[in-house]
Amino acid sequence: MESRRERQRAATVDEITRTARRILVEAGPEAVTLRAIAREMGMTAPGLYRYFASHGDLLRHLVGVLFGEITAALEAGMARAAKGDHGGKFLAVARAFRRWCLAHPREFSLLFGAPLPSLDDEGDLDFADQCGREFAWTFVRLFVDLWRKQPFPVPADEELDPSLRAQLTRYRDDVLGVDLPLGVMQLFLQCWVRLQGAISLEAFGHLNFALDDPEPLFELMLAELCGLLNLEYEPPAG
């Protein structure tokens, strides 16, 4: 059982995090400073160091919280798909990811835009790293499950570009630690690049020059990805 002091500390950390997020949403990532947060909370900036070792530490905690929120949204979307409906799960996760990102453009920018200097990775896994990996593994597990239960066509390992083959081997063995053909890893990354790329273009307003509503184009991309994965595409309800 947590002590009263531990509960008070957790409540203060939560308030600091919520305040940082509110400033992020209202003014952008550059405005999320210790001084601004302290001012909003009626504290002194040095007082925040009792809870976070640095500005970067605070931002990384916020990053972890946001990754946790996205992961929960993805899992909730996946849970609504029928059991055994691999296509439904894939589409639910992709659409849930897009919905969250478009509903939270400032948060999306912090997570997937240009890295802030104070968010440089110092090598040790921390809260942000762990939450980021849990987010990534939502997609990885979905892809692995699909491959094992409903395999899709992929190139043989020897057909891959030698340089790409070496990089995919390192990513598979050292980062993910999964037992999959390299062709599956290549297709996983191809799908991820297209998914995040399409969402990024829309979230950052880079499709406004041509489209008022990019959703139909996004759905066309999902239909193409379903074709690559031997999944049945179903348009969104309504």
Average pLDDT value over all residues in the chain = 92
Say what the pLDDT of residue 63 is. Answer: 94
Q: For the chain, list the domains and their CATH numbers.
A: 1-52 (1.10.10), 67-228 (1.10.357.10)
User: Are the CB atoms for 107 and 97 separated by under 8 Å?
Assistant: no
Is the pLDDT confidence value at 236 over 70? Answer: yes
> What mean pLDDT do residues 76-84 have?
91
Amino acid at 201: L
User: Are the CB atoms for 60 and 126 separated by under 8 Å?
Assistant: yes
Confidence of residue 125 (pLDDT cuts 50, 70, 90): confident
Report pLDDT digits (tens) over 191-220.
Answer: 999 999 999 999 999 999 999 999 999 999
For residue 176, the number of C-alpha atoms closer than 13 Å in the C-beta half-sphere is: 24
Q: Report how far residue 83's alpha carbon sits from residue 57's, in angstroms, rounded to the nearest whole number.
A: 40
Is the pLDDT confidence value at 32 over 60? Answer: yes
Report pLDDT digits (tens) over 36-70.
Answer: 999 999 999 899 999 999 999 999 999 999 999 99
Say what the pLDDT of residue 121 is. Answer: 52
52 phi and psi angles, rounded to 5 deg: -135, 135
Say what the pLDDT of residue 2 is. Answer: 75
Q: How many other C-beta atoms lie within 10 A of the C-beta of residue 220?
A: 12
Report pLDDT digits (tens) over 132-161.
Answer: 999 999 999 999 999 999 999 999 999 999
Say what the pLDDT of residue 198 is. Answer: 97
Give percent of the chain above pLDDT 90.
Answer: 84
Q: Burial letters for 133-168: b for 16+ Cβ neighbours within 10 Å, e otherwise?
A: bbbeebbbebbbebbeeeebebeeeeebeeeebebb
Q: Which of 97, 92, 90 is nearest to 143 (CA)?
A: 90
Say what the pLDDT of residue 118 is. Answer: 55
Global confidence as pTM: 0.92
